[in-house]
């Protein structure tokens, strides 16, 4: 007697116990990986909203309304940092701890936590789950999915703990050794997760004259925004060097490190140029440089601020928008369209200018499919962002008049929309004044920006049938340019 045919619909191994083709198995099996990713973040936002509304002892006064609770939960889970109320004064310590939990879950990703639970139970990871949890580990042959998943939590807890200890040492005498502990832990987790939430009113403006504090938080932001795959590669490379073994970094890691260094240096110079006699005026030379470096670091996704962005020049505001769009690196806690995406677009443009077809760096050529994905991501991302800014500007046409007198209404709308979509959290002061429609639009921008525009589009559209006819029509050229 022959066993069950593996290619028949509805037949699975005995572990799943599904034997009838009429059933479509579990919800887990019916959903595509993008739908699972989008759904996991949506579920966490829903849980966060319910927690902010129903849990007792979270507020120092009246609780948030449903829309503001949804806005705050979305901002925390999507590690954005835009706030409609002051985190430092509106929430109790318990409320701040609940926000920190949402930030941590959102920063690491729900899929990562699910992977850890499965590994802890001793179960094998399916190919479907590997696709969700790998985070691009296929670009490096040195990295194993299981090792990477464990390293994500190890890196996170170690770096957050180290940052908290360093900040506690600096702040203990100034803030009191008791209260400094909570402030240090909250700021360290928020910085590594690139969230931008702070337990200080005015974010970090009170620490603009403390270079050591700013450098520690900037280091946490950079490490959190570099990507766990890069951190794992650097860790393995260091181990190989101790053993006197050769360990070449992947092209992905090289691009991330090069692009990050270039953006940090260029951003620092830009802020020094635009703000030397504006918000940085009156500071000692060292503090100006450190603050400019911090602004360059936080603008791409973190959202902390040491200066009042409502007082910066228009050039600085637009320069910040450009950095926010680029964002951090893939597989990290950061948002944006990612450093490697823009690096590949720039390399492609340079290759075309030189009349070359292939794009290569460090002796390696980039696959055409990867370049197509980069172009598609930028096209879809910029399109979604443009639509969001247009809707936000339309809904807030009269509401923003009092909040945008310095920069003009459109710049304030554009800044707010870009900050939300790229999960940065910086604002020209317009967030608390958003109308109901503006808050809904900002919530959607934060959510789509966190899960990724391509993943969001794939999750809400029906996939093409794999068993349908695959036809490619004949080529016909089109004039471009």
In terms of phi and psi (left: phi > 0; alpha: psi -120 to 50; beta: otherwise), the region of 86 is: beta
Q: Is residue 395 part of a domain?
A: yes
Question: What's the confidence (pLDDT) of residue 472?
Answer: 77
Question: What's the confidence (pLDDT) of residue 386?
Answer: 94
- Whether 333 contacts 225, CB under 8 Å: yes
Q: Is residue 362 part of a domain?
A: yes
* Confidence class for position 170, pLDDT limits 50, 70, 90: very high
Question: What's the confidence (pLDDT) of residue 395?
Answer: 86
Nearest to 38 by CA among 462, 456, 458, 457: 456
Give tens-digit pLDDT for 421-470.
999 999 998 898 899 999 999 999 999 999 888 888 888 775 544 445 56
Domain of residue 183, residue span: 29-460
Q: Is residue 469 part of a domain?
A: no
Res. 479: pLDDT tops 70: yes
Q: Is residue 15 part of a domain?
A: no
Expressed in angstroms, the distance from the first to the final Cα of the chain is 66
d(CA 205, CA 208): 5
Tokens of 239: 């181990």
Q: Between β-strands 360-361 and 364-365, what pairing exists: parallel, antiparallel or unpaired?
A: antiparallel
Q: Return the higher-pLDDT residue of 360 and 115.
A: 360
- Give the percent of the chain with pLDDT over 70: 82
Mean pLDDT of the chain: 85
Neighbours of 340 (CB within 10 A): 24
* Confidence class for position 9, pLDDT limits 50, 70, 90: very low
* Confidence class for position 379, pLDDT limits 50, 70, 90: very high
Question: What's the confidence (pLDDT) of residue 457?
Answer: 82
Res. 349: pLDDT tops 50: yes
Q: Global pTM?
A: 0.87
Q: Return the higher-pLDDT residue of 126 and 101.
A: 101
Question: What's the confidence (pLDDT) of residue 32?
Answer: 76
- Whether 306 contacts 296, CB under 8 Å: no
Q: Is residue 9 part of a domain?
A: no
d(CA 154, CA 95): 26
Q: How many structural domains compose the chain?
A: 1
Q: Between vectors from CA 284 to CA 281 and to CA 290, what angle results, nearest 5°?
A: 90
Question: What's the confidence (pLDDT) of residue 3?
Answer: 45
- Whether 362 contacts 251, CB under 8 Å: yes
Q: Return the higher-pLDDT residue of 337 and 397.
A: 337
Give tens-digit pLDDT for 103-159.
999 988 866 766 655 556 555 656 555 655 544 545 656 666 667 777 888 889 999
Q: Is residue 16 part of a domain?
A: no
What does the pLDDT average to over 16-41? 65
Least confident window among 286-300, 355-369, 449-463: 449-463
Res. 406: pLDDT tops 60: no
Q: Is residue 19 part of a domain?
A: no
Least confident window among 70-74, 178-182, 323-327, 401-405: 401-405
What does the pLDDT average to over 219-238? 90
Q: Is residue 13 part of a domain?
A: no
Angle at which helix 436-451 crosses helix 453-460, to 10 degrees, equals 100
Q: Return the higher-pLDDT residue of 64 and 27.
A: 64
238 three-class SS: helix
* Confidence class for position 405, pLDDT limits 50, 70, 90: very low
């Amino acid at each position: 007697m022959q066993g069950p045919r593996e290619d028949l619909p509805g037949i699975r191994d005995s572990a799943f116990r599904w034997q009838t083709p009429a059933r479509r198995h579990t919800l887990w099996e019916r959903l595509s990986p993008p739908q699972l990713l989008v759904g996991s973040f949506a579920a966490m936002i829903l849980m966060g909203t319910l927690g902010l509304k129903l849990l007792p002892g979270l507020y120092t006064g009246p609780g948030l309304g449903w829309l503001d609770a949804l806005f705050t939960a979305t901002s925390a889970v999507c590690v954005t940092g835009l706030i409609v109320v002051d985190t430092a004064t509106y929430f109790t310590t318990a409320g701040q701890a609940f926000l920190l939990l949402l930030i941590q879950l959102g920063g690491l990703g729900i899929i990562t936590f699910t992977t850890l639970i499965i590994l802890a139970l001793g179960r094998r990871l399916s190919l479907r789950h590997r696709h969700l949890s790998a985070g691009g580990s296929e670009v490096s042959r040195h990295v194993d999915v299981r090792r990477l998943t464990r390293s994500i939590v190890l890196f996170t807890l170690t770096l957050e703990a180290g940052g908290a200890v360093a900040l506690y040492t600096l702040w203990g005498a100034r803030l009191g050794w008791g209260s400094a502990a909570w402030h240090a832990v909250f700021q360290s987790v928020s910085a590594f997760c690139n969230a931008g939430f702070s337990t200080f009113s005015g974010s970090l403006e009170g620490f603009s004259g403390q270079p050591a504090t700013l450098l520690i938080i900037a280091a946490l932001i950079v490490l959190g925004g570099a990507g766990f795959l890069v951190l794992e590669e650097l860790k393995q490379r260091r181990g190989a060097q101790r053993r006197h073994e050769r360990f070449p970094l992947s092209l992905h890691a090289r691009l991330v490190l090069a692009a990050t260094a270039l953006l940090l240096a260029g951003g620092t110079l830009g802020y020094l140029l635009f703000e030397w006699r504006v918000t940085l005026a009156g500071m000692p030379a060292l503090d100006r440089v450190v603050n400019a470096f911090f602004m360059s670091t936080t603008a791409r996704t973190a959202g902390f601020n040491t200066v009042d962005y409502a007082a910066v020049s228009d050039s600085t505001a637009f320069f910040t928008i450009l950095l926010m769009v680029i964002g951090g690196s893939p597989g990290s806690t950061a948002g944006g369209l990612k450093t490697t995406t823009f690096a590949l677009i720039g390399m492609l443009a340079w290759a075309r200018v030189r009349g070359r077809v292939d794009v290569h760096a460090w002796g390696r050529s980039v696959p055409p499919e990867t370049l197509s994905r980069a172009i598609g991501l930028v096209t879809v991302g910029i399109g979604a962002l443009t639509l969001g800014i247009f809707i936000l500007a339309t809904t807030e046409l009269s509401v923003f008049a009092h909040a945008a007198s310095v920069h003009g209404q459109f710049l304030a709308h554009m800044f707010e929309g870009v900050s939300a979509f790229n999960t940065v959290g910086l604002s020209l002061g317009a967030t608390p004044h958003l109308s109901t429609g503006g808050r809904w639009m900002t919530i959607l921008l934060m959510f789509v920006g966190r899960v990724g525009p391509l993943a969001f589009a794939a999750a809400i559209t029906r996939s093409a049938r794999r068993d349908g006819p695959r036809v490619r029509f004949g080529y016909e050229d089109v004039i471009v340019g």
